């Protein structure tokens, strides 16, 4: 019964909203539990144990995005990152994909998963958010099917207030949107997404 309610919530949240809005925490937690139950089927390139109680999600019409921090994520996790990728969370999207050098990443490069229940199918994509030390400083690596990042973005230090370990804000453009992430109010990075064709 809980799975049925969670899937119904997932379909509702990504299917009927008419404006860009943050998903309420209680519904986000229901969806997070459903997604993490199925995450292993997607065979992510990094093993992650996420905190299902601290999801952060946005929805717009039939589109949706959710970030789940790894358990125990702190600003120190990023500060101590080395040259290898350290996962900091799972990032899920429905109907959206990243842009790399202005071009939408094709579906065959994505780690997509269809969750089926009671005659309804919802296709989502799982990404791993990671951090590492690059030649120019700390950087975010977005991985999907393997450990080679789809894209890499610089991380800057900030001082902002936030409630959850990982949060993001969509800044909508004409054909795409920038997702601006903050981690523990100390670090910020962004990348661009667009609607899947």
* Mean pLDDT for the chain overall: 88
Domains of the chain, by residue range, sit at: 2-195
The arithmetic mean of pLDDT across residues 59-81, rounded, is 93
What is the structure's pLDDT at 40?
Answer: 85
The arithmetic mean of pLDDT across residues 101-127, rounded, is 88
The arithmetic mean of pLDDT across residues 116-133, rounded, is 88
Alpha-carbon radius of gyration of the chain:
16
3-state secondary structure of 40: helix
The model's confidence at residue 116, banded by pLDDT at 50, 70 and 90, is confident
What is the structure's pLDDT at 4?
Answer: 41
**Listed range (26-40, 107-121, 146-160) with the worst mean pLDDT:** 107-121
Q: Any idea which residue has 């969370």 for tokens?
A: 89
Tell me the pLDDT tens digit for each residue of 2-47. 444 444 444 433 433 335 689 999 999 999 998 998 888 888 999 9
Residues 6+ apart with CB under 8 A from 114: 121, 122, 123, 124
Tell me the pLDDT tens digit for each residue of 74-100. 999 999 999 999 999 999 999 999 999
The arithmetic mean of pLDDT across residues 161-189, rounded, is 93
Do residues 67 and 58 touch, judged by C-beta distance below 8 A?
A: no
Angle, helix 2-15 to helix 25-39, in steps of 10 degrees: 110
Q: Any idea which residue has 């996962």 for tokens?
A: 87
- Judged against a pLDDT cut of 50, whether residue 184 lies above it is answered with yes
What is the structure's pLDDT at 2?
Answer: 45
Q: How far apart are the first and last CA of the chain?
A: 33
Backbone angles phi, psi at 32, to 5 degrees: -60, -40
């Amino acid at each position: 019964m809980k799975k049925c309610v969670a899937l119904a919530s997932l379909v509702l949240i990504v299917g009927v909203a008419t404006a860009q809005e943050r998903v309420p925490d209680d519904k986000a937690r229901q969806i997070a539990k459903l997604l993490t139950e199925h995450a292993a089927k997607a065979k992510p390139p990094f093993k992650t144990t996420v905190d299902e109680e601290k999801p952060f999600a946005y929805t717009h019409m039939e589109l949706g995005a959710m970030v789940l921090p790894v358990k125990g994520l702190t600003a120190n996790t990023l500060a101590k990152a080395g040259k290898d990728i350290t996962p900091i969370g799972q990032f899920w999207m429905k109907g959206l994909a990243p842009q790399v050098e202005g071009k939408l990443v094709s579906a065959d490069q994505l780690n997509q998963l269809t969750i089926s229940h009671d005659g309804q199918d919802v296709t989502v994509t799982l990404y791993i958010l990671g951090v590492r030390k690059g030649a120019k400083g700390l950087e975010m690596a977005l991985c999907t099917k393997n450990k080679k990042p789809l894209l890499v973005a610089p991380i800057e230090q900030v001082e902002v207030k936030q409630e959850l370990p990982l949060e993001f804000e969509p800044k909508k453009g004409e054909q795409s949107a920038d997702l601006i992430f903050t981690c523990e109010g100390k670090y910020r990075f962004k990348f661009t997404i667009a609607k899947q064709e």
